[in-house]
Amino acid sequence: MTTRLLRARLLSFLRRPDSVDDRGSYRYEEDGGLLIEDGKIAAAGSYANVAALAPADVETVDHRPFLILPGLIDTHLHFPQMQVVGSYAANLLEWLNTYTFPEECRFVERAHSERIATHFYDEMIRHGTTTAVAYCSVHKASADAYFAEALKRGMCMVGGKVMMDRNAPQGLLDTAQMGYDETRAVIEEWHGKGRNHVAITPRFAITSTPAQMEATATLAREFPDLHIQTHLSENHDEISFTLDLYPEAVDYTDVYARYGLLGRKSLFGHCIHLSDREADAMSETGAVAVHCPTSNLFLGSGLFPLKALARREKGVRMGVATDVGGGTSYSMLKTMDEAYKIQQLLGERLNPFESFYHMTLGNAEALSLAHCIGTLEPGTDADLVVLDASATPAMALKMEVVRSLTEELFLLQTMGDDRAIHETYVAGAPMKSALT
């Protein structure tokens, strides 16, 4: 049995903070201890109390004065788009057709898929992300490479082979039957293997015919416990094109609702321009709107009304995500920095405790996985991130005048990147320091 005792300051969340002063929403230990046994958190609390529970010969790692949180979680990004990041285009549809679709055609090759998978997981670890939800390409080889690398590293990952049978280059098209068959094959080969979770993944309504949406609906009925991921209301031209393709639908959200794809494990990327009716439909079904701030700004798609959606009578469940490669950074810290700025432009405030809640417990709840990730609760998986708020000279200078945890978290969010990730633990094993 592998046992390890970590010492550091500890921060974890119990619920979404109502305000910057909502101390009941989180637990903080100034001198904390985490006892890890066989990849799980065995005990958490004050160092003195936890150390008393540890074996006499336990390996102790002292991370003071750093801050340990649950590993960061990214709820929407594109594994085949690593070499698309930073591509110059006017808007979403131009960006897809000019850069993204040609790049994704390369993932028909297993060797290329495996090479990019190695780099992808290195970046996740480097940036403190221990769980992510990714779109693979239309090719089964890309999903095989994605899940094989997750299994190799022992990571809890969600992903799926994209289904798309129109409005894309020939090299990126399957058929309704092929999309169904290959998705079933990916589920059978990878779901539940290690910590892998397969998601049913129609890219978006524009690239799926009604026949393929019917096949997606069949998969959703056959595998009701799986995640479903797609895109919704990112861009005005996208919305208009979708409604031209599905004239019977009341609105964009109704396209997915007609195929039974709205539910508590349904993840809809972007959701910037939802009508009141659409927001109500999301609330009533428990579907998740995933905010992708760096992508929304980079592609000029719009400003996501995070606070307004949360204030609705029933509220809309939400996640936050990088959306690489429309997103411009793998860092969840940078993601929440941009989320903060978007709320400022909308006349709203996003306090740093809420930001760190979203990156950890909030995203775990959005994925219906808070029973195993996103917390420091005993019995959960020991996926952790160790944060250093003095990681760069500029950050260290600012830290000289930081006087509270609130200010430290805001500094990490505003100036932090992969350099602020001192260590990343996956199932109790240190991973960032092991990168070559």
Model pLDDT, residue 91 = 87
Cβ contact 169:113 at 8 Å: no
Where b means 16+ CB within 10 Å and e means fewer, 53-66 reads ebeeeeeebebeeb
Contact 397, 37 (CB under 8 A): no
DSSP states along 348-416: ----HHHHHHIIIIIHHHHTT-TTTSSS--TTSB--EEEE-TTSSHHHHHHHTT--SHHHHHHHHHHH-
What is d(CA 104, CA 81) in angstroms, rounded to the nearest whole number? 7
Neighbours of 367 (CB within 10 A): 24
What is the per-residue burial (b if ≥16 Cβ within 10 Å, else e) of 88-120? ebeebbebbeebbbebbbbbbeeebbbebbeeb
As a dihedral over the C-alpha atoms of residue 55, residue 60, residue 62, residue 67, rounded to 10 degrees, the angle is -70
Coil vs helix vs strand at 194: coil
Both tokens of 281, joined, read 């439909």
The residue whose two tokens read 């958490």 is: 44
| Nearest residue to 103 via CA among 80, 120, 86, 121 | 80
Q: Contact 105/71 with Cβ under 8 angstroms?
A: no
**φ, ψ for residue 144, nearest 5 deg:** -60, -45
Say what the pLDDT of residue 95 is.
87
For residue 59, what are the CA distances in angstroms to 3, 6, 55, 214, 384? 7, 9, 9, 54, 17
CA dihedral for 335, 341, 347, 352, sign (positive or negative): positive
What's residue 314's pLDDT? 85
ω into 24 cis (within 30 of 0): no
The predicted structure's pLDDT at residue 404: 97
Unique residue bearing structure tokens 């409005």: 167
C-alpha angle with apex 395: 394 to 400, nearest 5 degrees? 100
Low-confidence ranges of the chain (pLDDT < 50): none
This prediction has a pTM of: 0.97
pLDDT of residue 313: 84
Q: What is the pLDDT of residue 1?
A: 63
Per-residue confidence (pLDDT) for residue 92, from 0 to 100: 82
DSSP character for 98?
Answer: I
Q: What pLDDT shows up at residue 2?
A: 85
Which residues partner with 52 through β-bridges? none
Rounded to whole angstroms, how far apart are CA atoms 323 and 91? 15
The rounded distance, in Å, linking the Cα atoms of 361 and 371 is 10
